[in-house]
Amino acid sequence: MSEHFFDQAVALRPDGEHTFRGAAHPAWANMVGPFGGITAASALNGVLSHPQLLGAPIALTVNYAAALGPGDYRLAAVPARTNRSTQHWTMAMTQPGADGAEETVLTATAVTAARRDTWSLNDTAMPSAAPPQDCGRFNPFGVEWLKRYDMRVVQGAVPSTWDGGGTDSLTQMWMRDDPQRPLDFLSLAALADVFFPRVWLRRATRVPAGTVSITTYFHADAAMLARSGTGYLFGQARGQAFSNGFFDQTAQLWNEAGELLASSHQIVYYKE
Amino acid sequence: MSEHFFDQAVALRPDGEHTFRGAAHPAWANMVGPFGGITAASALNGVLSHPQLLGAPIALTVNYAAALGPGDYRLAAVPARTNRSTQHWTMAMTQPGADGAEETVLTATAVTAARRDTWSLNDTAMPSAAPPQDCGRFNPFGVEWLKRYDMRVVQGAVPSTWDGGGTDSLTQMWMRDDPQRPLDFLSLAALADVFFPRVWLRRATRVPAGTVSITTYFHADAAMLARSGTGYLFGQARGQAFSNGFFDQTAQLWNEAGELLASSHQIVYYKE
């Protein structure tokens, strides 16, 4: 059986202390460079592959400084501080520029932690929705990476007519890897970034847009991931403000049982 | 006239290329180290003081790796990538450890940008609330930094009895610097972190808690800051999930005119 496209794309080769090498995968191509979610997952994989890792991911912030080009990238993943139960990471992806010198294409930080059993509460109920089987599958268009997901929109699909008449920015959808793959921290990090630009929905106008920075908080631990398995996630995203070239997106991802696995936020560049 | 405590606290001295020195200020003391918001503002000040700065802040992520101790800290603020209209920054605060070697106490990233006039929309209405003058002023207790703010709670005050009977995690309040100080990006970054731990409110139980990572997106530009002036901000914060030692907080900050100036998110450690 051939390896899943997801695992192929996030694969890293150790290349010295705190350093790995990887490459963008054509199966995840976006309009310019790969889908940002797979790049975020690759950066996180540097942390999770590191021999000094403590615990599991709690927080991940990824800043997209430039489009990832073809060919190898270099990923540095450095444990900047290790405490008794938490660990702070800085990451950077670089690629050779026109003059051959390494140039930064991505910066990132992560926090990992050894969780303890505490009082816990899922305090944001999953919205009620028709089951995924009753929702039409989103028909991938234009870019390759959309074929890597089975997405079933409940509300807030990509506008079918670009008539400038949008009313809100809320999308709700079921989603999972295609083909199915048991959920892990890497695929959860990628899934947090699958929503199309909120500005398209809010304005029913298609303008150039791209994520500048994304932060994902992981509420799931290994047991919650295992309970999620290959099931659908229910994802919700909305924008809060659109202001002179940048809008924000706040998102939540639940498993089918209604457990909030992750909350995610991003700031997105848009034109016009 | 003596300098405002805020300006005293975020002050930095250049100390080589990409490097500054500063120190925690006793007026901002928290239980352990200074208030996280003032430390975040200090890290951002490294970016805004840098001679190579392009534009104004769009995104700021600060990770608190260890309590900031007394005495000088070293702040590195490095422009990792400068594009035509955006700039990506990495920051780190270090202090000498027990053996004299520099140890990381904070890592951070920021994005700055030259904004362009585009279609814009404040898409999250400020909740209706009694005006600040009709809300009782929050009485600072226990820690010094609380005296630096004039906070007037509309809803979701610190529980007066710790009876384990909380029902939700929503706080809404008016807030501004005390004494008044015209709003800027630094004070906005600090104000995004003034909310007490959501777990205290949700459980009506006081447990040890501290911010691990905070991300703030700035929707305000210089003109919007100028319009806000020394007026109150309306701040709102709630938790979405509390899960084995970490909860998240999502927050919004409007000016009195109802413009959404910033949205902010944090992940917070809690015990028990």
* Contact of A177 with A235, CB cutoff 8 Å: no
Q: Is the pLDDT of residue A64 over 80?
A: yes
Q: How far is CA B258 from CA B29, B176, B217, B235, B253, in A?
A: 31, 15, 17, 11, 9
Segment B246-255, tens digit of pLDDT: 999 999 999 9
Pairwise CB contact (< 8 Å): B81 & A88: no
Q: Which of A243, A249, A264, A265 to mutate to test the interface with B (most CBs of B within 10 A)?
A: A243
In this predicted structure, the answer to whether residue A175 has a pLDDT above a threshold of 80 is yes
Query: Residue A257 — very low, low, confident or very high, per pLDDT cuts 50/70/90?
Result: very high
Summarised one tens digit per residue, pLDDT across range A83-123 is: 999 999 999 999 999 899 999 999 999 999 999 999 999 99
ipTM rounded to 2 decimals? 0.97
- CA–CA dist B32, A80 (Å, integer): 21
Partner residues linked to A153 by β-bridges: A173
Strands B56-64 and B209-218: antiparallel
pLDDT at A252 over 80: yes
Residue A108: closest C-alpha in chain B: B109
Contacts of B155 (CB under 8 A, 6+ apart): B129, B170, B171, B172, B173
**Taking the domain B132-270, which CATH number applies?**
2.40.160.210
- pLDDT tens, position by position, B114-172: 999 999 999 999 999 999 999 999 887 789 999 999 999 999 999 999 999 999 999 99
What is the topology classification, in CATH, of domain A5-113?
A: Porin (2.40.160)
Q: Do B86 and A212 touch (CB under 8 A)?
A: yes
User: Mean of the pLDDT values across residues A23-47?
Assistant: 97
DSSP A257: T
For residue A141, give how far its alpha carbon lies from the nearest alpha carbon of chain B (Å). Answer: 26
The count of C-alpha atoms lying within 13 angstroms of the C-alpha of A3, restricted to the half-sphere facing its C-beta, is: 9
pLDDT at B271 over 80: yes
Q: How confident is the model at residue B1 (pLDDT cuts 50, 70, 90)?
A: low
Strands (E) across A28-113 are located at 56-64, 72-82, 86-96, 102-113
Phi, psi of A235 (to 5 degrees): -115, 145
**Out of A105, A107, A263, closest to residue B240 by CB:** A263
Q: Based on the number of CB atoms within 10 Å of its own CB, is B222 exposed (0-12), middle (13-18) or buried (19 or more)?
A: exposed
> pLDDT digits over B157-212, tens only?
999 999 999 999 999 999 999 999 999 999 999 999 999 999 999 999 999 999 99
> Does the pLDDT at position B245 exceed 70?
yes
C-beta of residue B213 within 8 angstroms of C-beta of residue B267: yes
Average pLDDT over residues A214-229: 98
Work out the minimum CA distance from A6 to partner chain B, whole angstroms: 27
Fold matches, A5-113 and A132-270: yes
Q: Where are the domains of chain B?
A: 5-113, 132-270
